[in-house]
Amino acid sequence: MKVAVIGTGYVGLVTGVVLAQLGNDVICVDKDQEKVEKLKQGIPPIYEPGIEEMLKQGLKDGFLKISNSIQEATEASEVVFIAVGTPPAEDGTPDLTAVRAVANEIAKHIKKYTVIVNKSTVPVGSGDMVENIILSHGVDSSLFDVVSNPEFLREGSAIHDTLHPDRIVIGAKRRDAAVRLVELYATLQAPMIVTDLNSAELIKYGANSFLAMKISFINAMSRVCELCSANVADVAAGIGSDKRIGNQFLNAGLGWGGSCFPKDVQGMVKVSEDLGYDFGLLKEVIQINEDQTHHFLGRLEKRLGGFAGKKIALMGLAFKANTDDIRDAKSLVIIGEVLAKGGSIVAYDMVAEENVRQQYPNIEYVSNVYELSKDADALIVVTEWNEFKQLDLERLGQGMKQKVLFDGRRIYDRAKAERAGFEFFTIGSV
């Protein structure tokens, strides 16, 4: 099939390279000329395992083209994906400026029947909004359909998630339009859920809100565990073994961050509010998430007798492993609070360092994890990078002022850490 993908951010680029690999003729479009030039050379603007190889392969095989022209892409394609950013606005609703701009541009170039697919995460009613924009350009309603096809990929495993989705959600007003997408995805052999437009849009918000709720639930349980000397990992294993609950997304930690959960849970609250429902449950999910980091930092602050004059070493800066993304990363909350209270920070994250450096150019960065310990008063595991799991803990602690280890991602075994001489603190067990 001939496909255009407008926007080469996480979702757009991954969708584009995967559809090209499946043998479709894909044009990926971005208005950022610098990005376009790099993509043409096979250099992806994001860090994501596997994407570079797939991008290069698509360009080499000729299935993938990169362009800055929505006109060229729309005229050449049967299906046009809108995959531009929808960052949260002040009030928590997603900012749809980019979606509107792209819809206006696509509308100018529709000359034959085209399926326009909303892949960006958008609130209920956005499909109708795109439809109205296209109609406002005088395009006949028989020449196009708007379809919602939300994306569920995770950063760090985006290619795998796109090739092996649990389900594909396709929301459309007319069945014919949905069938086009069913055909496009047929080779993936995933269950297809075909719905109306609004339901598809709600599924995306609902899924992310539910997952965030699961994490906040186990984090709230971790607080109770700390109070009664229980172990949250055992509690999670016991709860999660019930098939109705499932054991995924029950890892207690510093809380959730990233580009999706904060925006989508907030978005779900706002969308519900606009429709006349107060989604108090999700407000609490957000509150628990914020409290979790502050509670953890509070324990460290208490142990050190305040942060003033203390050097805190951060293991990891990304919001989770296998990404350079620092959007709503807990590292930023920790850095902000420690600095505000008179402490200093030394950080290690080979992948996400550059992004944090732009916000915090004056904190200390090291290029070897073992260099973190020099004169540090405490180490905090912020991101669960695999490389941290097999470290020589004795060496890690060498040169510290105080051998205090706060494991914010529960990657270390207490006995092992204590044998290495650490005073060990973790989440959800004493």
Query: Using CB under 6 A as the criterion, which residues of the chain lie in contact with ligand UDX when the complex forms?
Result: 151-155, 208, 211, 215, 249-251, 253, 256-258, 260-261, 319-320
Position closest to ligand UDX via CB: 260
Q: Min. distance of Cβ 153 from ligand UDX in angstroms?
A: 5
φ and ψ of 291, to 5 deg = -60, -35
Query: By C-beta, is 94 or 257 nearer to ligand UDX?
Result: 257
- Concatenating the DSSP letter of every residue in 185-197 gives HGGG---EEEE-H
**44 in Cβ contact with 16 (< 8 Å):** no
Query: By C-beta, is 256 or 425 nearer to ligand UDX?
Result: 256
154: its two tokens: 């995770």
**Beta partners for residue 26, in sequence order:** 3, 64
Exposure string of 265-286, with b = 16+ CB inside 10 Å and e = fewer, is bbbbbbbbeeeeeebeebeebb
Q: Min. distance of Cβ 257 from ligand UDX in angstroms?
A: 4
Query: By C-beta, is 154 or 173 nearer to ligand UDX?
Result: 154
SS3 state of residue 86: coil
**49 in Cβ contact with 156 (< 8 Å):** yes
Q: Min. distance of Cβ 167 from ligand UDX in angstroms?
A: 11
Q: Tokens 């949905």 identify what position?
A: 178
Could you tell me if residue 60 is left (phi over 0), alpha (psi between -120 and 50 degrees) or otherwise beta? alpha
- 28 catalytic per annotation: no
Query: By C-beta, is 65 or 410 nearer to ligand UDX?
Result: 410
Query: By C-beta, is 27 or 285 nearer to ligand UDX?
Result: 285
Q: Min. distance of Cβ 82 from ligand UDX in angstroms?
A: 16
Q: Min. distance of Cβ 16 from ligand UDX in angstroms?
A: 16
**Nearest residue to 15 (alpha-carbon basis) of 71, 67, 72, 58:** 58
Which residues are catalytic, by number? 260
